[in-house]
Structure 1
Amino acid sequence: MPKLSIIIPCYYNEANIPVTSRELIANEALFPSEVTFEYVLVDDGSGDGTLQALLAFRNAYPEKVRIVELAGNVGSYNAIVAGIEQATGDCMAIITADMQDPPELMVQMYDYWKKGLKLIIGNRQDREETGLQQMFAKTFHALMKKIALPNIPDGGFDFVFFDRQVGEHILEMKERNSNLFYLMVWLGYPYVNIPYVRRKREIGKSRWTIQKKIKLFIDSILAFSFFPIRAISVLGVGMGIVALLYGLYILGVKVFGGIEVEGWTTLMLVLLFVSAFQMIALGIIGEYVWRGLDAARSRPLYVVKNLYAAARQ
């Protein structure tokens, strides 16, 4: 009897949990009778009543629900890793607590898994959201596809279904400051892509701030691409060539007695431009160095405060 572990990171989702739990339980009826279910919900240091809502879900289905309470907020990706570590299923799915991703899609994902695929991706073909949020998401994934991982699907994704073997690889790597979902694609397993339209959030307010989005963008590029370092090298060579040509021009004017070259304005412009380039280059190199230092410390990705295991059947 295959066991499916559904991993859900939760952060300030007190109002979402009752609705999410009902939808997930109702969704079980769409699966073949052979499948058993496990729900691994990770409270990522929420400051509201999220944990109490999760415990109410566990009390209603004690044999199915496992709750991982983290000591502090470590971000959704690290919370997911905590969920993978606690999951006991033969296959696993990651879905958000706000039900913007359709849980019924997991039935089709399960069918692909039964056929032998290790990774099934539900990618956002479109969104009901509009404005800056949609523009940022499209730009982010388009750039990542261009400069880092050309084999990722268009539109981005954070709704995945994967074999236990993939989960074990993720746990072994213990990646930090990275993109968990891109890491699954990076592993190299063939995957199938199922497009869908992401729903608009109906309950609560997203905690996915612009600062977190920018950090994820930087983390994703630095974790999977050498483009920033290569760009520094190319720009440095280009500036060196321009400096050489300009130097030859100044020398020629001086030797052959041409027109006097005015120097102050040009010198200041060059100085400011080169200084700005150096500071940006140092900043980029510093981002790589800091990530190396963070990895070298080997601090845990998360600290589990309490673990509420499922009751034995």
Structure 2
Amino acid sequence: MRALVANEALFPPEVEVEYVLVDDASADGTAAALHRFRRQYPDRVRVVELAGNVGSYNAIVAGMAHATGDCNVIITADMQDPPELMVTMYAYWRQGFQLVIGNRQDRQEGLLTTWFSRLFHSLMRRFALRNIPPGGFDYVLFDRQVREQVVQLQERNSNVFYLMTWLGYAYVNIPYSRRRREIGTSRWTLSKKVKLFLDSFLSFSFFPIRAISATGISLGVVAMLYGLYLVALRLSGTQQPAGWTMLMVVVLFVSAFQMMALGIIGEYVWRGLDAARNRPLYIVKDVSEPVKSSQ
């Protein structure tokens, strides 16, 4: 937090800064820490407490809904992203860009984490959103108009950062090196990463459905050709090949494909059901507004 406050001195003097801090129903004392920070800077800190844990991306939307600035920045609390980059982002916003992306060109993290991250974003660029920068991003500055449109969409099981690029605004991409985490351990577990990949990919791509259709057609063509081959053998009087093992392999393969296809279709159906129920993305338990000092 101190790094963010110190970073304010780098902005032009006419810039007013507010902090919107969201507690996603944490059980580790985060809410108390946020309120201590608010007591230190009561004139520009807003604390939003959610009633239940809804996930980081829904919590980000909650923060966006309570922000009031002309432009906004999303930065993770672990401070692996350099706060001083905001000044450059702000300068681009003053030039008229409504979306400015801090793009992780490099990261001071483990090789496995780096490799999986690059694979994830390369798949997204190839099969879902071709206009996203390589390497991924979750450090962005965006205009009030972008904020209002994202909040209005209320999209479930999605990726709020990719949603901003999906809107179609021209953006500036600023590459930077992400720092190694110095304090605490990440709670971004493997299961959360898998869910993020599924949510992101299925929200912006129909490639899995097309892949199922293409594979089904290919299997159908192979089955038809093999059937014609067996008919030709029968008509010519040639002994048909005995193939119990081959038959079992084909049955198991097709069954496995059917189950996989049903699973992919089920993911799409579940997301459609979740959207149709129209439940709120989050429930706000309490909001502590900034207290402006009287002149």
Task: Give TM-score scaled by structure 1 length.
Answer: 0.92
Deviates further, 253-262 or 115-124: 253-262
1:283 pairs with 2:270 = no
Alignment-derived partner of residue 122 in structure 1: 102
> Which protein, 1 or 2, shows the higher relative CO under an 8 Å CA cutoff with sep ≥ 6?
2
2:195 to 215, 225, 229: 215
1:65 to 37, 41, 45: 45
1:293 to 273, 276, 284: 273
1:38 pairs with 2:18 = yes
Report the residue type matching 1:211 in the other structure: S
Residue by residue over 1:52-75, the C-alpha shift from the partner in whole angstroms, topping out at 9 and shown as x without a partner, is 111110000000100001112111
1:231 pairs with 2:231 = no
Paired residue secondary structure (2:220): helix
Alignment-derived partner of residue 90 in structure 2: 110
Counterpart CA distance in 2 for 1:221 and 1:132 is 21
Alignment-derived partner of residue 160 in structure 2: 180
Paired residue secondary structure (1:305): strand
Give the drift of 1:260.
3.1
2:233 to 253, 258, 265: 253
Alignment-derived partner of residue 138 in structure 1: 118
1:157 to 119, 129, 137: 137
Work out whether residues 58 and 282 of structure 2, in 8 Å CA contact, stay in contact via their aligned partners in 1.
yes
Residue by residue over 1:119-154, the C-alpha shift from the partner in whole angstroms, topping out at 9 and shown as x without a partner, is 000010000002221111110001000100111001
Work out whether residues 57 and 160 of structure 2, in 8 Å CA contact, stay in contact via their aligned partners in 1.
yes
Which ranges of 4 or more aligned residues in structure 1 deviate by more than 4 Å? Answer: none
Residue by residue over 1:175-196, the C-alpha shift from the partner in whole angstroms, topping out at 9 and shown as x without a partner, is 0100110000000000000000
2:35 to 41, 55, 58: 55
Paired residue secondary structure (2:17): strand
Give me the identity figure in percent. 67
Give the drift of 1:45.
1.4
Give the drift of 1:255.
1.2
Give the drift of 1:259.
3.0
Work out whether residues 158 and 203 of structure 2, in 8 Å CA contact, stay in contact via their aligned partners in 1.
yes
1:270 pairs with 2:250 = yes
2:72 to 84, 87, 92: 92
Work out whether residues 105 and 135 of structure 2, in 8 Å CA contact, stay in contact via their aligned partners in 1.
yes
Report the residue type matching 2:248 in the other structure: M
Counterpart CA distance in 2 for 1:81 and 1:297 is 19
Aligned residue-pair number: 293
Task: Give TM-score scaled by structure 2 length.
Answer: 0.98
1:191 to 168, 171, 184: 171
Paired residue secondary structure (1:85): helix
**Unmatched tracts of structure 1, length 5 or more:** 1-20
Report the residue type matching 2:278 in the other structure: S
Give the drift of 1:200.
0.6
Paired residue secondary structure (2:138): strand
Work out whether residues 230 and 240 of structure 2, in 8 Å CA contact, stay in contact via their aligned partners in 1.
no
Work out whether residues 73 and 139 of structure 2, in 8 Å CA contact, stay in contact via their aligned partners in 1.
yes
Work out whether residues 104 and 136 of structure 2, in 8 Å CA contact, stay in contact via their aligned partners in 1.
yes
Counterpart CA distance in 2 for 1:200 and 1:262 is 61
Give the drift of 1:269.
1.2
Paired residue secondary structure (1:112): helix
CA RMSD of aligned residues (A): 0.8
Residue by residue over 1:200-221, the C-alpha shift from the partner in whole angstroms, topping out at 9 and shown as x without a partner, is 1000110100100001101111
Counterpart CA distance in 1 for 2:113 and 2:243 is 47
Counterpart CA distance in 1 for 2:233 and 2:241 is 8
1:305 to 285, 288, 292: 285
Report the residue type matching 1:92 in the other structure: N
Alignment-derived partner of residue 9 in structure 2: 29
Counterpart CA distance in 1 for 2:192 and 2:19 is 26
**Unmatched tracts of structure 2, length 5 or more:** none
Counterpart CA distance in 2 for 1:45 and 1:158 is 21
Paired residue secondary structure (1:165): helix
